Amino acid sequence: MASTTVLSPVKSNSTLLNALGVLPGVLLLAAIGYTGKFLEHFLNTYAKTHHWTFPNIEYVLWAILIGLVIANTVGVPKVFQAGVATYEFWLKLGIVLLGARFVLADIQKLGGISLALVVIEITLSLLLMTVLGNLFKLKPKLISLLAIGSAVCGVSAIIAAKGAIDADDEDSSFAIAAILALGALALFTFPVIAHSLHMNDVSYGLWAGLGVDNTAEATAAGALYSDAAGKVAVVAKTARNAMIGFVVLAYAIYWAGQGQAATVSNKAAFLWKKFPKFILGFLLVSLLVSFHTFSKGQVGSLGNLSKWAFLLTFAGVGLCTNIREMSKHGLRPFIVGAIGEILIACLTLGLVIGADRIWGL
């Protein structure tokens, strides 16, 4: 998956070749993203001019839909694939730059609430997925992967855990397919449910960050509701991502105890290795903004650069969602994933509504 994509370090001619290799795909991401932005603007203007009542369909949804249609009809030609796979890079770049739109006090408040909810969410999700997996008699390591994927952060967590618990490729692709398919479903259902419940931006953003597993999809689900909700979703999801090392370490120790995975001798090094470093970048940019390193106009520019990076990400989410591939992985893991995700979505919704009552989000 894209989360394992590593951009080659600056060395020799291969760097130039790599850069040229990703260019067509990146241009495709940009073209799809920009078309989404154009369609949103065009349809709104057209509807207003002709006095039509037309729902505002955000560029996020257009970009994802166009990508989905391409990926599931003509497919993504090979020449574009390397560039399309960079969407996870644009996501992380967008998140780091998004730090400019938060001062540390915001992060302290939102991050504190998010962390409290994340701990509850992770505990309940791990328990729930383990019980469901055992009920449906899935393979033990597949249960671990599904539990980690749904509790922490989707694809990245599954990939991190796969190595740590020595799971096989088939199990991890099952788990990834289930998490991605359900994340894609959440993109379309979460905003509808939230609108029907008249949720405010902060509550919805927290829900999207806690309930949608893959970071790209959680970011998109938040942005689909509103710009403010998108920002909160990123903070909540980032707080969840920060826990990846602890959860994977716990599973690695468990499976090593069973004699079915490698022993982890240096736990601090293991935690650092698994920690998503882009979170530190996000905090650093936010710190710089909090100390007034940038003027108001410059903060606006950084925020807009972040939006452009997300635009490429959303196009990539659609282009990397291959429904045919997902359906090849069999029904049982998907059913367990679906039941688990629906229950987790209800549970996190309850948590957020509860937090709103207690803290007044």
Binding site for another protein (CB under 8 A): 3, 5-9, 11, 88-89, 92-93, 95-97, 100, 163-164, 256, 259, 261-266, 269-270, 273, 276-278, 280-281, 284-285, 288, 293-294, 297-298, 300-302, 304-305, 307-308
Contact 170, 329 (CB under 8 A): no
Q: What gap in Å lies between CA 211 and CA 207, rounded to an integer? A: 6
DSSP 153: T
Alpha-carbon 164 to chain mean position: 21
Which residue lies nearer to another protein by CB, 21 or 163? 163
Amino acid at 347: L
Which residue lies nearer to another protein by CB, 68 or 164? 164
The CA radius of gyration of the chain, in Å to the nearest whole number, is 20
Cβ of residue 88: shortest distance to another protein, in angstroms? 6
Backbone phi, then psi, for 82, in 5-degree steps?
Answer: -60, -40
Cβ of residue 34: shortest distance to another protein, in angstroms? 12
205 Cβ partners below 8 Å, 6+ apart? 222, 225, 228, 229, 230, 231, 232, 233, 235, 236
Cβ of residue 95: shortest distance to another protein, in angstroms? 8
Q: What gap in Å lies between CA 133 and CA 142, rounded to an integer? A: 8
| 48 burial via Cβ count (<10 Å: 0-12, 13-18, 19+) | exposed
Which residue lies nearer to another protein by CB, 300 or 330? 300
Which residue lies nearer to another protein by CB, 256 or 347? 256
Q: What gap in Å lies between CA 219 and CA 208, rounded to an integer? A: 8
What is the DSSP code string of 66-78? HHHHHHHTT---H
Which residue lies nearer to another protein by CB, 236 or 302? 302
Cβ of residue 260: shortest distance to another protein, in angstroms? 8
Cβ of residue 311: shortest distance to another protein, in angstroms? 9
Which residue lies nearer to another protein by CB, 184 or 299? 299
Cβ of residue 219: shortest distance to another protein, in angstroms? 14
